[in-house]
Amino acid sequence: MPAVQETVDQVRSLDVDQYKYGFFTDIESEKAPKGLNEDTVRFISAKKDEPEWMLEWRLEAFRRWQTMQEPEWARVSYPRIDYQDLYYYSAPKRPTQLSIDDIDPEILKTYEKLGIPLRERDALLGIESTGGSKVAVDAVFDSVSVATTFKEELAKAGVIFMPISEAIREYPELVRKYLGSVVPVTDNYFATLNSAVFSDGSFVYVPKGVRCPMELSTYFRINERNTGQFERTLIIADEGAYVSYLEGCTAPQRDENQLHAAVVELVALADAEIKYSTVQNWYPGDKDGKGGIYNFVTKRGDCRGDRSKISWTQVETGSAITWKYPSCILRGDNSQGEFYSIAISNGYQQVDSGTKMIHLGKNTSSRIISKGIAAGHSDNTYRGLVSAHRKATGARNFTNCDSLLIGDKCGAHTVPYIESKNSSAQFEHEATTSKISDDQLFYCRQRGLDPEEATALIVNGFVKDVLQQLPMEFAVEAQKLIAVSLEGSVG
């Protein structure tokens, strides 16, 4: 059909070239020597001024990692990564986390360009003009956190929000208690690597009964060439606490692939709730599939207390390869886990993403809504596991995975695993794959929408029930991002 041919041509001509955050900030940086050995680990630990126990923890992880094999089960393919050809630490030379006026102006400019004001007064101005609500930001630039906003105001509520490297020094007992308690050091190849060389990320502790007074967010930026980013985030909501957290990610446009291997751990104690949202927009590579970020991430939440709740929402539009399964361990009785995902792939992107819902406690429930959208030559896989332990009486899960294909060179795959060792568990799974039809496009265009407006409208309709889960301010952003990443994918 002619429309399909045109689609293919358009995809060829436009593709993923729409990446708007591909610039590079030219600043002086300090790096660890290239390659990975015990000295690299010691170097990072020393840079962070870490206590001895932390260094030991890292070294143990590193020794373990050396015995491990890179996983190959995901539906992604990439050339072998030479782990000795990477930098594991890179930080701007000028000191960070000081008063905002001491931060390198180039870095401030970078974040301004990305639309993330690091000066609190600018952030407040932005809120006044848009009518939004206050969001505290931790800005991570390559391997270090450069600034964290609204720290004092949060401290008044008892909320700790700071770079994890700072938390290790200031709240060692909290960090020691929880770090690695959700994603063990030995969990998987990339998580173990991260445990050895993680550089920065955010630490959040919301004390008993406190509702965090504002949205928290971390903005990750990879800047330096040949450098991996190993983010480590730890969020703890104590009994009855509530926190909503958002992370955003971008990187410069480069021909080489860069590695981002993060670990995120969430702990929700009794009656606590954590909402974790991600808008992932790492550089996806160019239209021929050259360059882009390898996003190999381990994210897991532990509903440790009864009636606790963890909710993951992700909008994934970036990265050359995404390997990511934000999961929930439903340990507490009556705890709840949720996973809402929109994964968009275009160009030659490969996405293998999904979730694991591990039901351990009684009457635990989980809900999975996944929307995959594939365009161009991309591959988009949903991989999910729902399991019920034999003691998980009354476990319930509802899964709905829909895929939408744009064009005829892309693929969508659904790989669900269901394991139930308890006969009272009720697991439901629904999956559909559809295509934006030429009829839908024609109908929308006949009403006056151009092809891109029409596609955006149809796709937004398709992902609506996930977008609704995002905090309002971000939903609007995400909607725009979806439109941008699909630009040119339909003729």
Partner 1 sequence: MALLEIDNLHAKIDGEHGKEILKGLSLKVNPGEVHAIMGPNGSGKSTLSYILAGKDDYEVTDGSVSLDGEDLLEMEIDERAAKGVFLAFQYPVEVPGVATMTFLRSALNAQRKKRGEEEISTPDFLRLVKDKAAGLGISQDMLRRGVNVGFSGGEKKRAEILQMAVLEPKVAILDETDSGLDIDALKVVSEGVNALRSPDRAMIVITHYQRLLNHIVPDFVHVMHKGRIVRSGGKELALELEANGYAEYQQDAA
Provide, rounded to whole angstroms, the least separation between the CB of residue 438 and partner 1: 7
- Decide whether 274 or 454 has the Cβ nearer to partner 1: 454
Helix (H, G, I), strand (E, B) or coil at 489: coil
**Pair type for strands 242-250 and 273-280:** parallel
Q: Measured from the CB of residue 126, what is the shortest distance to partner 1 in angstroms?
A: 23
Q: How far is the CB of 431 from partner 1 (least distance, A)?
A: 16
Residues that bind partner 1 (CB under 8 A): 1-3, 6, 437-440, 442-451, 453-454, 457-458, 460-465
- Bin 121: left if φ > 0, else alpha if -120 < ψ < 50, else beta: alpha
Nearer to partner 1, 39 or 450 (CB): 450
Please identify, using beta-carbon distances, which residue of 1 and 152 lies nearer to partner 1. 1
Cβ-based nearer residue to partner 1, 417 or 443: 443
Q: Which residue has the tokens 């045109």?
A: 6
What is the dihedral angle through the alpha carbons of 93, 63, 77, 462, rounded to the nearest 10 degrees?
-70
Q: How far is the CB of 333 from partner 1 (least distance, A)?
A: 35
Smallest gap from Cβ 480 to partner 1, in A, equals: 15
Q: Which long-range contacts (CB under 8 A, 24 or more apart) does 173-177 make?
A: 174/205, 174/236, 175/203, 175/234, 176/53
Tally of CB atoms within 10 A around 37 = 12
**What radius of gyration do the chain's Cα atoms show?**
22
Q: Considering the complex, state which of residue 156 and residue 447 has its C-beta at the smaller distance from partner 1.
A: 447
Judged by beta carbon, residue 418 or residue 457, the one nearer partner 1 is 457
Q: Where are the alpha helices (DSSP H) in 82-205?
A: 105-113, 120-130, 151-156, 164-170, 172-178, 189-197
Contact 90, 29 (CB under 8 A): yes
To the nearest whole angstrom, how small is the minimum distance from the Cβ of residue 449 to partner 1?
Answer: 5
Dist CA 328 CA 339 (whole Å): 9
The SS3 assignment for 175 reads helix
Residue 195's identity, in one-letter code, is: S
- Residue 389 corresponds to which amino acid? H
Distance CA 144, CA 298 (A): 20
Q: Which is nearer to partner 1, 37 or 437 (CB)?
A: 437
Report in angstroms how near the CB of residue 429 gets to partner 1 at its nearest.
20
Residue 251 vs 404, nearer CB to partner 1: 404
Q: Which helix (H) or strand (E) holds 50?
A: none
